Structure 1
Amino acid sequence: MTDEWRGWREAAEAALYGDEGFYRSPLRGPEGPAGHFRTSVHASPLFAAAVARLLTGIARELDTRTITLVDVGAGRGELLTGVLAALPDGLEVTPYAVEVADRPPGLDPRIRWCAEPPAGITGLLFANEWLDNVPAEVAEVDAAGVPRYVQVRTSDGAERLGAPVAGADAAWLERWWPLSAPGERAEIGRPRDAAWARAAGCVEAGLAVAVDYTHVRDARPPFGTLTGFRGG
């Protein structure tokens, strides 16, 4: 370990998606994220049934019996498994799981495992609680009223203020999350904007859906939204 300082985006990238990161490390257990927290995907088969109905409706609108379903941030394939079980007869679905972790053993062989969404999707791209896990920079206002990038020390997670926020990041803050009072914080959402644009751009015909936490622009929390949990 060193006293290297880096931005929040880089630190979060390593913590979540590095070789020993939360979403990739085999030390987290074969059950993956579901062993640590639940989303709607894990809580009830009703969620998968709702996605199956949405997919069926898209197929009807597109006048096709052959359709693609892409689950972005698929975990261990729980949602796709549930949707396949809930589909009506006669609808042929090609399911893709987009995930950084390795394919889990015993997964339905119909599910195609990949690191990026396929291009030219005709059907549904579904991202459940994915965008909140796209790492972003954190900014904080200093004593002089200047928004600065927050840096994280590798060795112990301590923070300090770095360079002033500038360029496209500053423009994003001004539009979407303006800061003024010393101590106020924001997450600069440009990487999430770009990630969603790339994912949604893979849909040639059909629908792209993101399900996630949100708040409106005029009610941003003054100290940001990042929250950590230990032991569930």
Structure 2
Amino acid sequence: MDQALYGKGGFYRRGERPAAHFRTSVHASQRYAAAFAALLAEVDAALGHPARLDLVDMGAGCGRLLADILAAAPPHLAARLAPVAVEVAPRPPGVPEPIEWRTEPPAAITGLVIANEWLDNVPLDVVELTPDGPRTVLVDPAAGSERPGGRPDPADRAWLAEWWPLREPGDRAEVGRRRDEMWAGILGRLRRGLAIAVDYGHDRTARPPHGTLTGYRDGHGVPPVPDGSCDITAHVALDSCAAAGTRAGATATLRTTQRAALRALGLSGARPPIELAHRDPRAYVRELCAAGEDAELIDPAGLGGFGWLVQAVDVPLPRDLAALRPE
């Protein structure tokens, strides 16, 4: 998976962009970025309006999310922003000049970190319970054929016992230990501020018995053959990532859904009153378009089903989100 995504000639290393292969919240509507701009303003206030405010996008793709947040932020805030796109692919043309492009996050961050559909592409191993015990699944990178390999190493077995215990022969688990480490690395760099991971996820109480590993190419789901021709992704054990973030220094945590989070931030999907069409037709059309975009972003069967992991370091959780109960 590592080689197929990030090795020489790998899917992301050669500059493939997610929007060409699957629908993302970033490309569904600029209102998604506007919601993050509102959160950024709250973080800025909690930090006391510092002279420099970091804004880091992990797995930035084409840089669209950062560009849209910059456009949505008020001038007094945008002037103090230090936006950083973290991405293994080369900087594409058209990225606004203020955005720094790099392959590693800054060593010290004060502000907001966004990991939008990043953790699901952090490579992992798959383990299957066989009659002879758990075995790491080996895969032919050309044909995609599989066979059982050796026993998982002790660290992976410990992770499985705590977060994804296998119960019946044929059950599979996707070992999220490396994802925990990557997320903890982000929290370890966050001196003060907020980190938000947005991804499809699951909990220990309801892990999918056969896993979620899949591939995407040109808008279609395909077998996850690790030959570099497709995106390979697996849902995220956000509960284990949250625990890793707490160990790394998070002082407050919220887990919820994108639907709940964006609704709390004012994206309701409600149609404007029909009276507005008679009073101000152009305003009615604008609000109707916004309602349609909101509805897609908060659809519980679609983008609204993403999980949000929100962790703070030495600042309070944003007011609108802090009122939510985890879903």
Q: Using structure 1 for the length normalisation, give the TM-score.
A: 0.90
Q: What does residue 54 of structure 1 align with?
A: 39
2:70 to 78, 81, 84: 84
1:110 aligns with 2:98: yes
How many residue pairs match? The answer is 216
1:64 & 1:212 partners in 2: Cα distance? 29
Mapping of residues 65-80 of structure 1, within 5 Å: 65=50, 66-80=52-66
Structure with more helix by fraction: 2
Q: What does residue 241 of structure 2 align with?
A: none
Q: Give how far 1:231 is off.
A: 2.8
Q: State the one-letter code of the partner of 1:25.
A: R
Point out which structure has higher relative CO (alpha carbons under 8 A, 6+ apart): 1
2:35 & 2:150 partners in 1: Cα distance? 46
Q: Give how far 1:230 is off.
A: 3.4
1:119 & 1:25 partners in 2: Cα distance? 26
1:16 aligns with 2:5: yes
Give the conservation status (yes or no) of the 8 Å contact 2:18–2:24: no
1:39 to 24, 29, 32: 24
Q: Using structure 2 for the length normalisation, give the TM-score.
A: 0.64
Q: What does residue 214 of structure 2 align with?
A: 227
Q: Give how far 1:16 is off.
A: 0.9
Give deviations 1:32-65, integer Å, cap 9, x for gaps: 2211112111110111001111111000011115
Gaps of 5+ in 2: 220-327
1:179 aligns with 2:162: no
* Percent identical residues: 56
Give the conservation status (yes or no) of the 8 Å contact 1:98–1:116: yes
Give the conservation status (yes or no) of the 8 Å contact 1:68–1:123: yes
- Structure 1 stretches of 4+ with a deviation exceeding 3 A read none
**Secondary structure in 2 matching 1:201:** helix
Q: What does residue 228 of structure 2 align with?
A: none
Q: State the one-letter code of the partner of 1:214.
A: G
Mapping of residues 124-203 of structure 1, within 5 Å: 124-144=112-132, 146-203=133-190
Q: State the one-letter code of the partner of 2:141.
A: T
Q: State the one-letter code of the partner of 1:128.
A: N
Q: Give how far 1:166 is off.
A: 3.4
Give the conservation status (yes or no) of the 8 Å contact 2:58–2:118: yes
Give deviations 1:100-124, integer Å, cap 9, x for gaps: 0000112101000010110221100
1:224 & 1:196 partners in 2: Cα distance? 21
1:231 & 1:106 partners in 2: Cα distance? 23
**Secondary structure in 1 matching 2:215:** coil
Mapping of residues 210-221 of structure 1, within 5 Å: 210-221=197-208
Q: What does residue 8 of structure 1 align with?
A: none
Q: What does residue 100 of structure 1 align with?
A: 88
Give the conservation status (yes or no) of the 8 Å contact 1:125–1:200: no
Root-mean-square deviation (Å): 1.2
1:155 & 1:23 partners in 2: Cα distance? 18
